[in-house]
Amino acid sequence: MKRVLTFIVTACILSGCSSIAVLNPKGTAGEKQLDLLLLSLLLMGIVLAVVFTLFVRFLIKYREKPGEENEFPIQTAGNKKLEISWIVVPFIIIIVLAIPTFATTYELDEPYTNDKKPLIIEVTGEQFQWSFYYPEYGITSTDELRLPVNRPISFKLTSNDVIHSFWIPQLGGKRDALPGKENTLRLKALETGTYDGKCAELCGAEHALMTFDTIVENKTNFSKWIENMKDGEKDG
Ligand SMILES: [Cu+2]
């Protein structure tokens, strides 16, 4: 027993469960994805509870009791009620999962309307760095992404070499950056702060180093940064 407990505690500590970024979203896309995650966890929990309850109950109820050693159990084959129920119940579970998943997927993919003018950022992945071009301001930033808080962002993703995958876990969304093709990812950051960004596609030897900081700022600080970058580009 002691050994089992030690194993469980060690596994929990080593798995580093203290900070799972996707469970702490700070953006619209991340929040919607968390809702889907929780819904599937809830359904899984229900299935798990039912299966384990029946398992334990049958173990106890139908175990061999003293004096029954030579008895042969009654043999049955087929049970319409049970057969129908284990076809219908999973079907209902799939429907309950599918409807919100489809709805959210299409909702997140919907282009912004004109009254919510998004900030467009052209993201290019290459072995092994990210560059962010802001066409509205004519500036490029490398391995550091700055976003204004509460403004819809539209990322245009592409790659210069192999397939990369653009991902900021706390803001949500993850989309491939492909050579020769442009993918769009939309999200909105709801809180200022610094969030980790990474490449989520094994893209070569230094894939693990392909990270970037996402700094979400208020409007004033963001404008200041833009001005600094513009001055830098002029000097450089
Ligand atoms: Cu990569």
Domains and CATH numbers, the chain: 119-235 (2.60.40.420)
Which residues have a beta carbon within 5 Å of ligand 1, which is an ion?
Answer: 164, 199, 203, 210
CA of 168 to the centre of ligand 1 (A): 13
Residues 6+ apart with CB under 8 A from 153: 118, 119, 121, 147, 186, 187, 188, 189
Question: Separation of 120 CA from ligand 1 center, angstroms?
Answer: 21
Distance 49 CA to ligand 1 centre (A): 40
Cβ(122)–Cβ(135) under 8 Å? yes
For residue 126, report the distance from its CA to the centre of ligand 1, in Å: 7
Question: What is the pTM for the complete model shown?
Answer: 0.76
Q: How far is CA 220 from the centre of its chain?
A: 30
For residue 140, the CA-to-ligand 1 centroid distance in Å is 19
pLDDT tens sequence for the chain (236 residues): 788 888 877 776 666 555 677 788 888 888 898 999 999 999 999 999 999 999 999 999 988 888 888 888 788 888 999 999 999 999 999 999 999 999 998 888 877 776 678 899 999 999 999 999 999 999 999 989 999 999 999 999 999 999 999 999 999 878 999 999 999 999 889 999 999 999 999 999 999 989 999 999 999 999 999 999 888 776 65
Residues in the chain: 236
How many angstroms separate the alpha carbon of residue 112 from the centre of ligand 1? Answer: 28
| Joined tokens for residue 153 | 């962002």
- Residues sharing a CB contact under 8 Å with residue 85, sequence separation 6 or more, in sequence order: none
Between the CA of 165 and the centroid of ligand 1 the distance, in Å, is 6
Alpha carbon of 163 to ligand 1 centroid (Å): 7
pLDDT score at 70: 81
CA 228–ligand 1 middle distance (angstroms): 28
Token readout for 192 is 């200022």
Compute the distance from residue 100 Cα to the ligand 1 centre, in Å: 31
Ligand 1 centroid – CA 108 distance (Å): 23
The edge-to-edge listing of strands for the beta sheet with 129-134 is: 139-142, 129-134, 119-126, 153-159, 183-187
Give the distance (Å) from ligand 1 centre to CA of residue 110: 26
CA–centroid distance, residue 115 to ligand 1 (Å): 34
Nearest one of 145, 156, 155, 132 to 197, comparing CA atoms: 145
> Residue 24's pLDDT is what?
82
Distance from residue 18's CA to the centre of ligand 1 (Å): 26
> Which two tokens mark 178?
């492909």
Residue 236: its pLDDT value, please?
55
Give the pLDDT confidence score for residue 173 in this predicted structure: 79
Say if CB 35 and CB 172 are below 8 A apart. Answer: no
Query: How many other CB atoms sit within 10 Å of the CB of residue 225?
Result: 18
